[in-house]
Amino acid sequence: MDIGGLKKMALEEIDKAIDLVGLDNVYKKYLGKKGEIASFFGSLKNLPEKDRKEVGRCLNSFKKLLEEKIKIKEQEFKKSLKLFKNNKLDVSIPGKKIKTGHLHPLTLVKRRAENIFGEMGFSIAQGPEIEDEWHNFDALNIPKNHPARDMWDTFWLKNGKLLRTHTSPVQIRYMKKNNPPIRIIVPGRIFRHEATDASHEINFYQLEGLMIDKDISISNFKAIIQEFFSRFFNKVIEARLRPSFFPFTEPSFEVDMSCVVCEGTGCSVCSSTGWIEIMGAGMVHPNVLKAGGLIPRQKAKDTGWQGFAFGIGLDRLTMMKYKIDDIRLLYSGDIRFLKQF
Ligand code: FA5
């Protein structure tokens, strides 16, 4: 073997040595009295006179390099041995846990809701957060100057557009592009220019639902939403339907669920009522179906369409799921809060 090959081999063996004994073996093999380098020196006399000097110099620098490398590695071993002997290195202590990121509770709830509705045959639709007045209001049977517009305090943009105040405009966008039967959910972010408190934010999430077919009734809605709640909470949850008003549904109702945070005894989240308003819902208004390009059903067995729609507050659902008593915590970015999920 030539000096280059020997050098490569020796350096690799130093690298691989795992303790002082291993290192000593490498030393003996290459630098010992009868080692590889000594035998190379011994064979110098067989070389032509003119080459001896050069080869001798190479051997010397190789020897020096090995001595240095072995010394450095030896010091490293001795240092850790000393730490070990002084008990500073306790090999029985478990290693440090590597911190990993995780999903935000709102994302966990959104994904779970998507899965449950997915299992019930609903597909996911999306729409823009910057919306135009027609989709957000007019098409939903809320004409200009109608007092119902005051139900949604709106962030208007300079260009006349607005930040959508609910996910309902996606109903219209979807109906215009897709033929019934329709069975969709629309999870998304929405914005309202209102005062915040323990259960109100200015930026929050809704999950819209829309089901359109020939023979859809309120009973179908009740069955689906009850099934959703029991799968989501893994227990029977009391829900009540209160007659209400939304311009885009007729009849309309609010759905309340018993407050999981206080088990119905009263707390800041449910304003001490024991109930929390979780969604608005109703049978889609004929004017909304028309705005979506569909012919509404007028009498039994005609060819028109009908169906229900609902809008769940995903933040409130998250609060119920994890017993969070203030919606603002979800947007606080407080690591102490987020670490719990
Ligand atoms: C609506 O936004 C309707 N678009 C819902 C709907 C869809 C009705 C389809 C009928 C048919 P509402 O403003 O009530 O309705 O809001 C729906 C849900 O969003 C509420 O039940 C509540 O859970 C949640 N929510 C409303 N305002 C806030 C707020 N400021 N902060 C957090 N969640 C809110």
Condensed to tens digits (0 to 9), the pLDDT of residues 270-292 reads: 888 888 889 999 999 999 999 99
Whether 326 is in the pocket of ligand 1, judged by its Cβ within 6 Å, is no
**The two three-digit tokens of residue 174, written as one number:** 């979807």
Look at the chain and report how many structural domains it folds into. 2
Whether 136 is in the pocket of ligand 1, judged by its Cβ within 6 Å, is no
- The C-alpha atoms of residue 169 and residue 191 are separated, in whole angstroms, by 13
CATH of the domain at 165: 3.30.930.10
Residues 222 and 318 in one domain: yes
Is residue 99, in this structure, part of any structural domain at all?
Answer: no
Measuring CA to CA, which residue among 206, 212, 154, 228 is closest to residue 311?
A: 206
Taking the centre of ligand 1 as the mean of its atom positions, its distance from the CA of residue 204, in whole angstroms, is 10
Taking the centre of ligand 1 as the mean of its atom positions, its distance from the CA of residue 199, in whole angstroms, is 12
Contact between residue 247 and residue 140 where contact means Cβ atoms under 8 Å apart: yes
Residues 61 and 124 in one domain: no
Given a cut of 70, the residues of the chain with pLDDT beneath it are 1
Taking the centre of ligand 1 as the mean of its atom positions, its distance from the CA of residue 81, in whole angstroms, is 66
Whether 142 is in the pocket of ligand 1, judged by its Cβ within 6 Å, is no
Is residue 96, in this structure, part of any structural domain at all?
Answer: no
Whether 279 is in the pocket of ligand 1, judged by its Cβ within 6 Å, is yes
Whether 313 is in the pocket of ligand 1, judged by its Cβ within 6 Å, is yes
Last residue of a domain, one of 40, 58, 87: 87
Contact between residue 3 and residue 62 where contact means Cβ atoms under 8 Å apart: yes
Whether 280 is in the pocket of ligand 1, judged by its Cβ within 6 Å, is yes
Residues 123 and 264 in one domain: yes
Residues 67 and 167 in one domain: no
What local confidence, expressed as pLDDT, does residue 113 receive?
97
Residues 53 and 139 in one domain: no
Contact between residue 116 and residue 229 where contact means Cβ atoms under 8 Å apart: no
Residues 145 and 68 in one domain: no
Residues 251 and 329 in one domain: yes
Residues 152 and 12 in one domain: no
Taking the centre of ligand 1 as the mean of its atom positions, its distance from the CA of residue 205, in whole angstroms, is 9
Residues 159 and 295 in one domain: yes
Whether 285 is in the pocket of ligand 1, judged by its Cβ within 6 Å, is no
What local confidence, expressed as pLDDT, does residue 144 receive?
86
Q: 198-244, pLDDT tens digit by residue?
A: 889 999 999 999 999 999 999 999 899 989 998 999 987 778 889 99
**Domain carrying residue 289:** 105-338
Residues 168 and 265 in one domain: yes
List, edge to edge, every strand of the sheet that includes 123-124: 123-124, 182-191, 203-213, 306-313, 275-284, 249-258, 239-246
Which one of 201, 204, 330 would you pick to mutate in the ligand 1 pocket, going by the greatest count of ligand atoms within 8 A of its CB?
204
Taking the centre of ligand 1 as the mean of its atom positions, its distance from the CA of residue 80, in whole angstroms, is 63
Taking the centre of ligand 1 as the mean of its atom positions, its distance from the CA of residue 304, in whole angstroms, is 28
Is residue 253, in this structure, part of any structural domain at all?
Answer: yes
Is residue 100, in this structure, part of any structural domain at all?
Answer: no
Taking the centre of ligand 1 as the mean of its atom positions, its distance from the CA of residue 120, in whole angstroms, is 22
Residues 77 and 119 in one domain: no
Residues 110 and 234 in one domain: yes
Is residue 68, in this structure, part of any structural domain at all?
Answer: yes
Which one of 277, 285, 306 would you pick to mutate in the ligand 1 pocket, going by the greatest count of ligand atoms within 8 A of its CB?
277
Strand 275-284 with 249-258, pairing: antiparallel
What local confidence, expressed as pLDDT, does residue 3 receive?
82
What local confidence, expressed as pLDDT, does residue 1 receive?
66
What local confidence, expressed as pLDDT, does residue 276 receive?
84
Contact between residue 98 and residue 160 where contact means Cβ atoms under 8 Å apart: no
- The C-alpha atoms of residue 208 and residue 117 are separated, in whole angstroms, by 11
Taking the centre of ligand 1 as the mean of its atom positions, its distance from the CA of residue 202, in whole angstroms, is 12
- Which atom in ligand 1 lies closest to the alpha carbon of residue 194? 30
What local confidence, expressed as pLDDT, does residue 299 receive?
80
